[in-house]
């Protein structure tokens, strides 16, 4: 397993293509959420991913919000799930955030069914459950 972190400005065309292809497969097709998957945040984000060999199998993006940092678009390719790779991916993402944005709180919009998963990394719910693209979400915060 290899973990990569690159700013948008450092991505090759092929890398961004593979990222967008996988994000669309998971969030738009698999989760049946027709929404603008590629957005303006991509251009200013740090893109992180797990590979096995040359295959992209997991992804997150990190965004500087000013007073806080967020990460999202967390995914593991379907055939690689149930192998604890989501936890590895989030742990690596949190390390990258600590290196790039030390002592900053991290605020995420988590799918509500993953509250306990993110709680295991120190995140606490800070909102009521709300719908985003038809999926229940909750805002969660990890203090610096």
Which residue from 32, 31, 4 is spatially nearest to 19, judged by alpha carbons? 4
List CB contacts of 12: < 8 A, sequence separation 6 or more. none
Q: What is the pLDDT of residue 12?
A: 96
pTM of the entire predicted model: 0.93
Phi (first) and psi of residue 2, to 5 degrees? -125, 140
Residue written as token pair 């999202």: 72
> Which comes out higher in pLDDT, residue 101 or 34?
101
5-23 pLDDT, tens digit per residue, is 999 999 999 999 999 999 9
Q: What is the mean pLDDT of the chain?
A: 94
CB 91 within 8 A of CB 50: no
Max CA pair span of the chain: 40
Give yes or no for residue 27 having a pLDDT over 90.
Answer: no
Q: What is the pLDDT of residue 37?
A: 84
Which 8-state DSSP code applies to residue 30?
I
Band (pLDDT 50/70/90 cuts) for residue 141 is very high
Domain range 2-101, CATH architecture? 3-Layer(aba) Sandwich (3.40)
Q: What is the pLDDT of residue 33?
A: 79
């Amino acid at each position: 397993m290899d973990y990569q972190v690159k700013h948008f400005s450092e991505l090759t065309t092929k890398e961004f293509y593979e990222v967008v292809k996988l994000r669309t497969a998971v969030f738009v097709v698999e989760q049946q959420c027709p929404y603008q998957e590629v957005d303006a945040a991509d251009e200013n984000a740090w893109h992180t991913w797990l590979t096995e060999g040359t295959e992209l199998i997991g992804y997150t993006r990190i965004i500087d919000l000013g007073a806080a940092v967020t990460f999202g678009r967390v995914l593991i390719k379907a055939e690689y799930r149930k192998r604890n790779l989501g936890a590895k991916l989030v742990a690596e993402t949190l390390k990258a955030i600590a290196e790039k944005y030390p002592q900053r709180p991290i605020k995420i919009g988590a799918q509500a069914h993953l509250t306990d998963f993110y709680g295991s990394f120190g995140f606490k719910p800070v909102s009521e459950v709300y719908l985003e693209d038809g999926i229940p979400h909750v805002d969660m915060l990890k203090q610096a």
